Amino acid sequence: MSKNLRSSIFSTAQQVKELVPSLFRSGLLSNEGGAKAGLMLLPVQARYRFSTAREVEQGYFACPERIALIDDDGQLTYRQLRNNSRTVASYLNQLKSRIGAEEIHLGVMARNGRGIIVPIAAKGFAGGHVYLLNIGSSTEQLVGCIKRDGINMLVIDEEFVPRLPDDLDIPVIIAHRDNKEHTIGGYTSLDEIIATHTPEPLALFPKHGNIVVMSSGTTGVPKGVVRHEPVLPTVLASILNKVPWRANMTVQMTASMFHAWGWACFNIALGMRGTIVTRRIFNPSHVLEDIETYRCDAMISSPIFLKQLTVVEGGEKIDCSSLKFIFSSGNALSPWLVEEVHERFGKILCNLYGSTEISAAAIASIEEINAHPTTAGTVCTGTDMVILDEDDKPCPVGTPGRIFCWNSVTLNGYTDPKIPLSTFEHMVQIGDRGYLDENGLLFVLGRADDMIIVGGENVYPRSVEEVLESMPGVADLYAAGVSDEHWFKRVAVWVVRSDDAEGAALTEDSVRDWVAAKLAEHSVPRDVYFVDCLPRNATGKVIPAKLVPAVS
């Protein structure tokens, strides 16, 4: 046996050694529903790996009558979710034969709820590939993904049907429809399939394909990030060790399920035999009301949503004391936002740092966030990380550099093989700059390509945003580097005023003075633009090209 193989086996064994105890501590393996569920644990794992199909199948054996999902269309038990998903899987198999396809290449463009969970689970039962399409995609972007990735069947919410091209020649299934009494464009729907289709036997061991998540790119056709159904997601050990997630919890989810963060968390919630509470459209008042109504134990969210939840008029009267933790990801946390969340919900905030390509890279526990509000946490179990300087040399402790990572759920590549990956050895560049401190805590400074040099000094626009977030009168903002004929680059900010006297009182000079009092002169924005709103995509990220004036 080679030295490398022995090292790989030892590393995997160590990761399993960490993962299994964390599953017991969470209460999952001790709450699997009796002898039958226990006997099915390994066979289900062998058939479906750690897929959505695996979670709903094992949930069916362990706790069939427990509520798995509460969404805009009502409630589903684990039995119903499993049976509905298997029915749709059977339909997809028949559809594959009807169109003469060798494999299922299923595109899904749907908001949170059963309209996205059922097709993803069905893909696991039937085999094949699934492509999670960004709900903000234009017709051009949607067509680009379909053609590039060979999508041969599409599940889509009714509201997005107008974005379909007239010459689309693949079968279309409606995921969610507002009016169940009529059909849309002659297309069948998931609820019609579930009500009328007679399922045929499914493969005992389906041929697992890829999960493809689209990057949140703001222009052009989104990159298709490819990963296999995970066999051993060792990063789960860090999540269960750092986050007080326990079996049978009720989890409110505002994170978008078509994006990597939401997709990962709804699978974890189902894997923990929990109840997911979600809505298709984010409304901060509805979120707080759901937490109170269903006595939610946890909330899965992102900073863009958390900010809105802390300023809901009358929101302080809604009882959210049932929450045991809030798990955030998708954007960086700022000290101001951490303070606001703590004041509203208590000191229960955790954070995950990662990317669409890498998945989880680091996790900050409640205690770590309390002590270091800006930390991304410690590196996840089973994750290799290195921080390199511009010469590809490891940076000393405390010195910023480019972050490279790898773990068992890192991407396998892109659907377009011509798109290059920036790598170092086996690790992939995450696209951010940061550093590790002497305690192993990771601090992320911002996107590597966002850093600008002003008069010979490095400036991270994120640092300017963090300062301005706490300024009275600022409801929303974005900072970026723009060209300067003398300094090469300068800082610019786009500010949305709050709807009050403090917002009305904001001026360009008052914004500059606020930054100047807290940061060095080279970080003070030369340009201050007041706008009615910031153009954001479906995951809450600002689209620089749509700013006025635009950032190229």
- For the chain, the domains span 44-227, 232-448, 452-546
pLDDT for res 7: 40
Report CA-CA distances (Å) from 541 to 216, 447, 477, 546: 8, 13, 11, 12
Mind listing the pLDDT tens digit for each residue in 360-418? 999 999 999 999 999 999 999 889 999 999 999 999 999 999 999 999 889 989 999 99
Mind listing the pLDDT tens digit for each residue in 160-190? 999 999 999 999 999 999 877 776 778 999 9
φ and ψ of 330, to 5 deg? 105, -35
Q: How many residues does the chain have?
A: 552
**21: how many CB neighbours lie within 10 A of its CB?**
14
The pLDDT of 502-531, averaged and rounded, is 94
Region of poorest pLDDT, from 22-36, 214-228, 306-320: 22-36
Q: Which CATH number fits domain 44-227: 3.40.640.10, 3.30.470.20, 3.40.50.980, 3.60.10.10?
A: 3.40.50.980
Confidence of residue 552 (pLDDT cuts 50, 70, 90): low
pLDDT for res 5: 36
Q: How far is CA 298 from the centre of its chain?
A: 16
Q: How far is CA 273 from the centre of its chain?
A: 20
Cβ neighbours for 494, distance < 8 A, ≥ 6 positions apart: 477, 478, 479, 529, 530, 531, 534, 547
Which CATH number applies to 452-546?
Answer: 3.30.300.30
What distance in Å separates the CA atoms of residue 121 and residue 113, rounded to the nearest whole number? 12
Give the 3-state DSSP-derived string for 120-152, with helices as H, strands as E and coil as C.
HHHHHHHCEEEEECCCCCCHHHHHHHHHHHCCC
* Selection from 117, 127, 130, 135 nearest residue 277 by Cα: 117
pLDDT for res 345: 97
Report CA-CA distances (Å) from 214 to 144, 146, 233: 12, 12, 20
Mind listing the pLDDT tens digit for each residue in 24-44? 555 555 556 666 677 788 888
Amino acid identity for residue 537 in this structure: N
Sole residue written with tokens 């038990």: 77
Structure tokens at 29: 């393996």
Helix-, strand-, coil-residue percentages of the chain, each rounded to 5: 35, 25, 40
Amino acid identity for residue 380 in this structure: C
Q: How far is CA 99 from the centre of its chain?
A: 33
Sole residue written with tokens 């899965």: 300
Confidence of residue 328 (pLDDT cuts 50, 70, 90): very high
Q: Is the peptide bond before 549 cis (omega within 30 degrees of 0)?
A: yes
Check residues 292 and 332 and name the one with the higher pLDDT.
Answer: 292
pLDDT for res 17: 52
Kindly tell me if the per-residue pLDDT of 115 is higher than 90.
Answer: yes
What distance in Å separates the CA atoms of residue 89 and residue 106, rounded to the nearest whole number? 11
Strands 224-228 and 401-406 come out as: unpaired
| CATH class (in words) of the domain with range 232-448 | alpha beta
Question: If phi over 0 gives left and psi between -120 and 50 gives alpha, with beta otherwise, what is residue 346?
Answer: left
Mapped onto helix, strand or coil, the DSSP state of residue 351 is strand
Confidence of residue 453 (pLDDT cuts 50, 70, 90): confident
Mapped onto helix, strand or coil, the DSSP state of residue 112 is coil
What distance in Å separates the CA atoms of residue 366 and residue 242, rounded to the nearest whole number? 8
Q: Do 251 and 45 form a contact (C-beta atoms < 8 A)?
A: no
Check residues 421 and 510 and name the one with the higher pLDDT.
Answer: 510
pLDDT for res 244: 95
pLDDT for res 30: 52
The pLDDT of 204-218, averaged and rounded, is 87
Check residues 378 and 20 and name the one with the higher pLDDT.
Answer: 378
The pLDDT of 298-305, averaged and rounded, is 95
Q: Rounded to two decimals, what is the model's pTM? A: 0.88
pLDDT for res 382: 87
pLDDT for res 313: 86
Q: How far is the first Cα of the chain from the last one, in angstroms, to the nearest whole number?
A: 53
φ and ψ of 143, to 5 deg? -60, -40
Sole residue written with tokens 């921080």: 387
What distance in Å separates the CA atoms of residue 133 and residue 431, rounded to the nearest whole number? 22
Structure tokens at 354: 């990662």
Strand partners, 432: 447
CA angle, residues 90, 261, 445, in degrees to nearest 5: 160
Strands 474-484 and 488-497 come out as: antiparallel
**195: how many CB neighbours lie within 10 A of its CB?**
10
pLDDT for res 483: 85
The pLDDT of 126-142, averaged and rounded, is 94
Region of poorest pLDDT, from 22-26, 123-127, 525-529: 22-26
Sole residue written with tokens 């850093």: 451
* Selection from 204, 212, 206 nearest residue 228 by Cα: 212
pLDDT for res 217: 58
Kindly tell me if the per-residue pLDDT of 8 is higher than 60.
Answer: no
**Sign of CA pseudo-dihedral 182, 187, 189, 193:** positive
What distance in Å separates the CA atoms of residue 463 and residue 445, rounded to the nearest whole number? 8
Mapped onto helix, strand or coil, the DSSP state of residue 20 is helix
Kindly tell me if the per-residue pLDDT of 15 is higher than 80.
Answer: no
Kindly tell me if the per-residue pLDDT of 228 is higher than 60.
Answer: yes
What distance in Å separates the CA atoms of residue 206 and residue 47, rounded to the nearest whole number? 7
Confidence of residue 332 (pLDDT cuts 50, 70, 90): confident
What distance in Å separates the CA atoms of residue 44 and residue 57, rounded to the nearest whole number? 7
Question: Percent of the chain beyond pLDDT 70?
Answer: 92
φ and ψ of 271, to 5 deg? -65, -25
pLDDT for res 163: 95
Confidence of residue 3 (pLDDT cuts 50, 70, 90): very low
Taking each helix axis from N to C end, the angle separating 114-126 and 78-99, rounded to the nearest 10 degrees, works out to 60
Same fold: 44-227 with 232-448: yes
